[in-house]
Structure 1
């Protein structure tokens, strides 16, 4: 099995849902929600791609960073690289259904563990999908993180308790799912949360609590005040609001305000190891990845997921060697040039 074979099989098995494009830029799949694309004209998905592409690495080859350490510790768990599998549900709704929900979830969770990292599992308008994720976490002896849609607090707390029973490492909500079309189509009440509602959720559990979907400094500050252990700077892959900024547009400002007060994760078009380095340089502690993991699962089950993540690890290590980074803590803004802002910080 190699990457080309996995992607070819994924393309065949997801026919009509994902083209597994050479450049995953949101153009071909624009408006395909449900599906794998960005909402509306797909401008937010496209911006995620364009913004990250316009951040360049500074090549540096006179140094002693010959064998970089790519490992980090997240939620008291050491992982081999700063990449966590993002929460994804809806195999039959968004991906074509070649894999059942349980098969996809198992592949994502077990493949991530095989590659030395962990996976988040998701939630959906179909409550069985959330349970499938928890089943996978149980099979993995708790090595997983459960993410819940922003339903009514009473429903979220019920699902938090289920996550605790599964032995999950952490739990959270993808607050950016408040506008998901798939939830609305299935009559599921979701929406934004007040500060007091968030405090109720964080205080309902002893597990680390994650708030996914932070896209401005003000919300990041409120998430810290609410008691979150981690935030995810994310616009839900450009799938909920057209014409919004990319995570890489706002991450640096958010990190300046809350770095060290909360674990900062980020996602949005992570497609190669260099993208991980870019997000770390902008202020993230680790990244989330979705679409390539889906390709891995559909093209090769858990071994396909492992292959995808191992490739990320190799690419990241190479990028660290060629930018002079001995470890993840060595990655800073001096390793990049952000053409989006016109700042040349060499």
Structure 2
């Protein structure tokens, strides 16, 4: 198999050298580097990299401008390399909305030691980017299938894990009429920025989102979404009421749970579970909701991302009466999480990004909001 070509773009000579050395030590990678966005655009024509790692802050042409030019002229997977500051988070989220596939944070401290901390993550994301290269964010926007063409695919019975049945959840009169639960990872910011602003302001159920993202990003992301959405968007950092007309973003590097205290339901942020691989954990969010809310009053949405976080929990709820949506392959940056839900027979509907908000609104307008006795 031919080598994977990677272009490293960073204005720091020291950072470029360490990144190039780190990647050249990895078998099967061919690496070149550029000092700024203008050099990067020239090298993209000459070197034709499979993947670009792109610094945010650079002279002459910054990373955001360069990314926009890449996505228009020669779209390919781009991984942003950004600082952990609030301004770095804001710029990275802007990059993700423009079509960057993913990002890696620059830790503080000595460059060589810092890069060792993120080496495995960067290499893993480069490998993932190569596999998903044909579905750049630009392509995802333009290749969504018509609504009628998407249908759930049933999994073979032998593929569906079995679990002991859970006790049936009961609702209290003070509970919200239902909950919308959204799980998402790689490629999520772009998908969420298309779906959440399209939800109606009068949505009768609260929306809870577990987006795999570090703590330094989720507060910035919630504020960004709040400016875009007719619904109010906030980060869950402490015990929080769940109100209709609100979207709740799980705090990064922790997990969000639905809990009942003094007879009422709340959301709360808890330390990340060591037994779960991804955080905020979609599985823990969904399973905690299932403990307190009847399945028919839960609507689960599994969006783009690597792995299977939340797939089995959502599939279990679907078998108990919940409605579920899996994002379709063509509109995903990475089809892993939705594919795992579909494979388990857990998708009521498989839809492109642009059709998901409308389906949620239609189901909630027609769903029975009866209180469970």
TM-score by length of structure 1 reads: 0.34
Greater relative contact order (CA < 8 Å, ≥ 6 in sequence): 1
Task: From the two aligned structures, give the one with the greater helix fraction.
Answer: 1
TM-score by length of structure 2 reads: 0.32
Task: From the two aligned structures, give the one with the greater strand fraction.
Answer: 2
Structure with the greater alpha carbon radius of gyration: 2
